[in-house]
């Protein structure tokens, strides 16, 4: 494992070696083994609560993650839904993670305002994920500990505004005082160095990590990701205003066709977007069906490797970028009167 190269507000807030966070990916993917591998490699990972609807299975995953990390802190992804039953489900998840001493949460979806008091009272750090700086401002006013700003290049849900990570990073760091994490299309150390240079405090990666050895998806799908060049993604579900960047497969083509007709009835989309299709694709390696989160950063996923090796590559690349920047900097000239 590489030594710490950067100290930022995020590394200090979360007590981690590197300013690298790994997003929850799909509900069936971010389990205890993967999250523990991220933590043990010096970053912060988030176990996806929605992937374990049974509270006791969720608790078992938390206990397993603590065992695998040797008691180190780890995170949980909480999706805040407006759908019927979403509030009750969220309350149960929050109660379990409080009881099990989870260190931090990555909240996404609707506003985290309803759960903030309970999380704050338990000493849990809250990082709220948003697709645009306008929402980050609102989250900061609520008192979250940090914001994760996701650009349009992200696999998964980039929001409806289509703003790039490069723009988001420069805007967010100019406008917000809370610690800032930048996500979307990131998979190299030179991007880490660039976002830190712009004033951010960490990066968050998703698609880049699809080839992590510890990730519970079929090796055939990981090999497909290795062979990808980042052009295989498409944003669909625009008719529902629930933009989703996924692998261009048969399901995505069917959804894109619905979008093109202006369809806005979810029941028309349901057969193609049901989560069981994605779960089966990850299990079997047959990626023809399902909404499979997939961003252009897969171009950086050049081999199946342990998380620690991926992080080592990123830190080495960041160090090289910093060295190059230093070589490009012109020395300050002084005159005889200085």
Half-sphere exposure of 81 (CA within 13 A, CB side): 14
Res 338: pLDDT: 52
Res 335: pLDDT: 64
Torsion angle of alpha carbons 131, 183, 253, 250, nearest 10°?
Answer: -140
Q: What is the C-alpha to C-alpha distance for residues 236 and 240, in angstroms, rounded to an integer?
A: 9
Regarding pTM above 0.75, the answer is yes
* Domains in the chain: ranges and CATH: 9-209 (3.20.20.70), 220-284 (no CATH)
CA distances from 137 to 45, 175, 183, 295, 336 (A): 24, 8, 17, 26, 48
| pLDDT tens, N- to C-terminus, the chain (338 residues) | 899 999 999 999 999 999 999 988 876 688 999 999 999 999 999 999 999 989 999 999 999 999 999 999 999 999 998 776 778 889 999 999 999 999 999 999 999 999 999 999 999 999 999 999 999 999 999 999 999 999 999 999 999 999 999 999 999 999 999 999 999 999 999 999 999 999 999 999 999 999 999 999 999 999 999 999 999 999 999 999 999 999 999 999 999 999 999 999 999 999 999 999 999 999 999 999 999 999 999 999 999 999 999 999 999 999 999 999 999 988 776 665 55
Q: What is the C-alpha to C-alpha distance for residues 230 and 227, in angstroms, rounded to an integer?
A: 9
Provide Rg for the chain, Cα atoms. Answer: 20
């Amino acid at each position: 494992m590489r030594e710490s190269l950067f100290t930022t507000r995020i590394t200090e807030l979360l007590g981690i070696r590197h300013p690298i966070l790994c997003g929850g990916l799909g509900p069936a993917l971010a389990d205890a083994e993967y999250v523990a591998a991220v933590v043990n490699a010096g970053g912060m990972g988030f176990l996806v609560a929605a992937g374990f609807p049974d509270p006791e299975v969720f608790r078992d995953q938390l206990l397993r993650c603590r065992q695998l990390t040797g008691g180190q802190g780890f995170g949980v992804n909480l999706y805040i839904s407006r759908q019927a039953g979403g509030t009750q489900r969220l309350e149960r998840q929050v109660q379990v993670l409080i009881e099990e001493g989870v260190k931090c949460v990555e909240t996404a979806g609707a506003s985290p305002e309803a759960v903030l008091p309970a999380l704050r009272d338990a000493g849990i750090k809250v990082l709220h994920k948003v697709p645009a700086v306008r929402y980050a401002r609102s989250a900061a006013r609520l008192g979250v500990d940090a914001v994760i700003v996701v650009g349009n290049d992200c696999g998964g849900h980039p929001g409806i505004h289509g703003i790039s990570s490069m723009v988001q990073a420069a805007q967010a760091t100019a406008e917000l005082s809370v610690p800032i994490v930048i996500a979307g299309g990131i998979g190299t150390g030179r991007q880490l160095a660039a976002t830190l240079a712009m004033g951010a405090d960490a990066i968050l990666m998703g698609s880049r990590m699809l080839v992590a050895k510890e990730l519970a998806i079929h090796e055939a799908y990981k090999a497909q990701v290795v062979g990808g060049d980042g052009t295989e993604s498409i944003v669909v579900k625009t008719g529902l205003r629930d933009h989703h960047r996924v692998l261009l497969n048969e399901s995505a083509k069917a959804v894109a066709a619905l979008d093109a007709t202006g369809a806005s009835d979810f029941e028309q989309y349901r057969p193609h977007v049901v989560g069981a299709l994605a779960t089966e694709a990850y299990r079997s390696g047959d990626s023809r069906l399902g909404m499979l989160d997939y961003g252009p950063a897969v171009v950086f996923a050049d081999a199946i490797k342990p998380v620690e090796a991926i992080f080592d590559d990123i830190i080495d690349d960041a160090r090289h970028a910093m060295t190059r920047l230093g070589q490009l900097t012109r020395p300050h000239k002084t005159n005889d009167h200085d």
